[in-house]
Structure 1
Amino acid sequence: MKNSKIFYRLFFALLLAFSLSACSNDDDVDEGDDVTDDLTDDINGSDDDDGNGDGDGEPDPDAAAVFVFIDEESIDNGNEPNDFSETDVNDDISEIGQREVLAYFNENPGEEITLYTGQTGDEAWFVLKEIPGSWNEAGPNENGARNFLEAGPGLGQDQTEDLLDEISDITPLRATGLSMLTGQTIIAVVYDSDISINYDPLEGNLQGENLGVVAFEVLNVTERTDGSSSALPSVNIRILDYTAVEALELNLFSNAPMPESSSEPEDTTPPDTIPDIELSPAE
């Protein structure tokens, strides 16, 4: 009789442990879905059971994404700290005008990862402060940023890229600019090579093969202590479902700090007090 009681106690203890483990796993799976649901509510104005979204059938006016360009110094196969494979980052299908979502990002919404951002003079993240007029005229839309994201004529379509050279005021981001993106949703086109910059006047070349597109939220920006003295910060991000955010309005980072040269200011440490970001519609 005593042995029977011990057996049943062990049985129910194991059953309880299994049930708790299953619930925990469900929570992990649902976390990415919750992020996607909240973003979808913001886009279409719906309201779910948790009270997210406007609930009035109107999109959240604050729901928008910052338009960014990222090069191989941040996302590429073999790069630290993620050591992505070729297929993880679409390196096996890279081409001019590639706009497929990077495989790793497509398969892991909700996951938090860290990205490095290059070094002073060889930055990895870039923003525009104004959309070139030629992009607006290129089609198929009236919005030049959308035309670029859809690889319109001269912007990647059929391997054409004649509208992507000598782009004025394309701004490389160093520590202060990266820090100002904290909390922002990002939609980025990822390049399979370096984005080259001239500083006098400030302009860049956006020609070259693309790995595709990604979407994520910037969680925090921290100083790198494991790189060279010119290493720019690490950025912790949460991967977002691209299909959930691609319809968001696009914003330009209009007050991104402009570097004086390839070496000045060095700006490798996030500031204690982060300046407020100023955003303007990408049109």
Structure 2
Amino acid sequence: MLKRYSVYTLLVFILLGSCMTSSENDNDPDSNDFVVFLVIDENSIDNGNEPNDLTDMDVNDQIARIGQREQLKYFKENVGKTIELYSGEVGDEGWFALKTIPNRWVNAGPTENGLQNYLVPGPGLGSPNIDDDREVLLDEIPDVTPLRATGLKMLVGYKVLAVVYDSDISINYSPLEGNLQGANLGMVAFEVLSVRERTDGSDSSLPAVSIRILDVPALSNFGKVLFSNAPVPQSSSEPFDVVPPSSTTIPVLVQAN
């Protein structure tokens, strides 16, 4: 089993993020060798969603299924393009950070790395287990954290690898946990360039996120890290965090195991 990064390595991650400007990242897609792992649902990426109005084919809707891990067609065909994604509403977010990997994911196999087992996917994590249950290990996942304006702003300058869901990811509070069952559209990768307040939506609309599309296979050897200090909402409505702050704390990124 892989161990957590040392304090020194974590400091390197933090310094990489804090020292590079967005323009530096724009010019060098390989400026660091790790990606932040997230899950994204239909409130951000789906066919017909504003502002991109992608088609069914663009988002792999015709092949959506539990355990789908192919790259979304639009992202595969538009590597290097800059687009905006909306990120949902307060209480109905579209982006989620995993802060920990459950031991049951590690034990599921086929590897000794729990996140890698989810990405393969392993038995009960998207492929059938001995009881032919593809998603038995995907409910009541601790610390699945909805990202609102502050959490999104903290990701500016970082590369993201995400599994995209074909429906809502449901969240329970106190304790915070998420249900990751359901069909997947596949995977996407991108760099977060900027986060802006939405002025064209409702009062509860979360920010628009400018991203540069990256190629999922090109990041296959990158280390995968978890956004361990993503701000934790108190409830589905508090805090009402829709305006990106001018400055944020630096993300604390830990190795996914």
What band does the TM-score fall into relative to the shorter chain?
Answer: 0.7 to 0.9
Which is richer in helix? 1
Kept in 2: contact 1:187–1:246 (CA 8 A): no
Confirm whether residue 201 of structure 1 aligns to residue 171 of structure 2: no
Aligned residue for 1:211? Answer: 185
Give 1:246 shift: 2.0
What percentage of residue pairs aligned between the two structures are identical? 61
Aligned residue for 2:135? Answer: 161
What letter matches 2:76 in structure 1?
N
Give 1:38 shift: 5.0
Q: The residue matched to 2:105 in structure 1 has which SS?
A: helix
Aligned residue for 1:116? Answer: 86
Confirm whether residue 99 of structure 1 aligns to residue 73 of structure 2: no
Q: Could you list the per-position Cα deviations for residues 93-122 of structure 1 after superposition, in whole angstroms to 9, with x for gaps in the alignment?
A: 000000000000001100000000001000
TM-score normalised by the chain length of structure 1: 0.79
Which whole-Å CA distance do the structure 1 matches of 2:29 and 2:151 have between them?
26
Give 1:201 shift: 1.1
Match of 1:179 among 136, 139, 153: 153
What letter matches 1:118 in structure 2?
G
TM-score normalised by the chain length of structure 2: 0.86
Q: The residue matched to 1:266 in structure 2 has which SS?
A: coil
Aligned residue for 2:215? Answer: 241
Which whole-Å CA distance do the structure 2 matches of 1:171 and 1:241 have between them?
25
Q: Name stretches of at least 5 consecutive residues in structure 2 with no aligned partner.
A: 1-25
Q: Name stretches of at least 5 consecutive residues in structure 1 with no aligned partner.
A: 1-34, 43-61
Give 1:244 shift: 0.7
Confirm whether residue 64 of structure 1 aligns to residue 38 of structure 2: no
Match of 1:152 among 118, 122, 126: 122
Confirm whether residue 80 of structure 1 aligns to residue 80 of structure 2: no
What letter matches 2:95 in structure 1?
W
What letter matches 2:122 in structure 1?
G
Q: Could you list the per-position Cα deviations for residues 131-172 of structure 1 after superposition, in whole angstroms to 9, with x for gaps in the alignment?
A: 000001111111111111111111001460100000011100
Higher relative contact order (CA 8 A, sep 6+): 2
- Number of residue pairs the alignment of both structures matches: 229
Kept in 2: contact 1:252–1:282 (CA 8 A): yes
What letter matches 2:116 in structure 1?
R
Q: Could you list the per-position Cα deviations for residues 251-281 of structure 1 after superposition, in whole angstroms to 9, with x for gaps in the alignment?
A: 0000000000000000000001121111000
